[in-house]
Structure 1
Amino acid sequence: MIPQNIVKQNILDAIAVIHKEGVPKERESTKYHLWYNGGLYPPKYVISVANRFANGHALSRDRFNGGAETNNFLKRLGFEVIEETLATKNEMQMSEEQTFRVGEYYSRNDIYQKLNVPKAKQKGHWNTGYTQYEKDSFIFANVGTAGRTGHDHPNRFDGNDLIWYGRNKSTLTQSSIQSLINPEGRTYIFAREDSNDPKFLFLGNGRAKDYFDESPVKIIWSFDNETENHPEILAEEVNELEIYTEGSVKKVSVNVYERNPIARKKCIEHYGLGCQVCGFNFVNIYGIIGENFIHVHHLKPLHEISEKYEIDPVEDLRPICPNCHAMLHKRKPAYSIEELKRIIKDKVTDTPH
């Protein structure tokens, strides 16, 4: 039986230990996984380790049952437990093959460690905005803030794309720029909004969608790598390149403030991944393929926004499922979240049983 004095903080402490030390092979889970902050952990082993913090010793696995007992205990504490299917197994394998996870934070030191960069090859060009290591390129973009060296380029997000500028006096003919436009390997792109923050948000593997013969060089980066999870990209846009190739034109009207991945990340960190209207959570229903998926709704009407407007992810954005997002915009000006909640409540009340 699971000791009832194990609390949420004990579980979090256990996750931190397991994240650092790994999972013994004999304690790996074959069916269920505790999902937390982009990681998957064996539920029963988590509780065993959590008991160290609650009661001073690891809980023997024969003292309690896996499955329903373990999963329900974790769910009562507010954690998400997902069942492994063939689809989730393939997704997990794909996730493990990726060096960096879209939407996660990394410092340069984290990157050195993940890539096993020798100390002699650290720092230096890594601190100048972009560099190459082996065949891969790495971009560290400051968005809406001046760089540490005083350069203040107007890097910004435009829909799903990043408008990015190279170093001062950079040109298209430079080998460092050519290696970005025509890479041998991958182009890993990281961004932050505060130049004093050592952590960057990983945006994904970028593709030079367009570039301009200016100085500094201007490149438009798109993120359409099919092996990456980009929840900010709507399903109807996934095959956008095919649509243009076939000669048809499809325009998806997008509120640019809802696409800023840094603002989106901060919004979700504050409110969670549940829809703020109906409570729907994708990972609870779809498992790992629903990981980190939710739309983000911008509360302020665009006509009220001035040129100097700076988005506040907590005040201005809310996580909303696609259904509720569509219903919010069924009217101009959009319905408020409170109005839509009342509509749903009234509908449920009026429905005969």
Structure 2
Amino acid sequence: MDSYLDILPSEATAVAVKTEGRNFDINFDGISSTGCWVVSKDRFYDYVIVFHETEFGNDIYIGENRGNRPEGTTTRQGKEYPRYRIFIGNLTFKGKTEKNWTSFTLGKSEGYERIYLENTGLGEPKSLEPDSEEAIEGYKKDTKVMVSKRDRKLTEKRKRHDNYTCQACLKQIKVGNKYIIDCHHLEPVHLGARTTHLEDLISLCPTCHRIAHTRVPVYSLDELKQIASDIYI
């Protein structure tokens, strides 16, 4: 195994992490987890790749991204950043590699022990931005990655169908001539590639959308409605 391109499917994205096994919970029959890493909790990626360094060589695992959960913080240059445990479904052991971490990521890790990667299907490696402040404080690059995996026409149709109104708290927010509304997948996109239909989506305000993703699995629409009714009494 020479690089992550040998295991990451074409047109797919992944977060790859290097670990010596600390907090790496392997469960081939359920949900595995690794780390607690500074990652953007809203960033979308398809897979999780684990580069596990052992005294007997480097073990490589890959599984489906099943979301993150906040656990603690990390201080960098006087600023605190939240850390997230990464959950993995259908974890698979892909074998060992004699390559080191830098070679395995084709030089894209740039000193980071956690890096976003993409297989463009063109035979050329492409890394997504190693996040520091950007993933925590700025949404521009993260949103670009997420939107590329979704049908914009379908999400806009869903918003119009819901009259640009949050289906949880029933609030319609408009600033100037722009509605502030998100389109939420009732079944998160990280559960796997599939054809998305109008009924798979729902319109949520940014607050309710953020609440939906504070749990793994995400809150259902009925649960969000109950939370919203408790908040806006």
Query: What is the TM-score normalised by the length of structure 1?
Result: 0.25
The one of the two structures with greater contact order (alpha-carbon pairs below 8 A, sep at least 6) is: 2
- Which of the two has greater helix per residue? 1
**Greater radius of gyration (CA):** 1
Higher relative strand content: 2
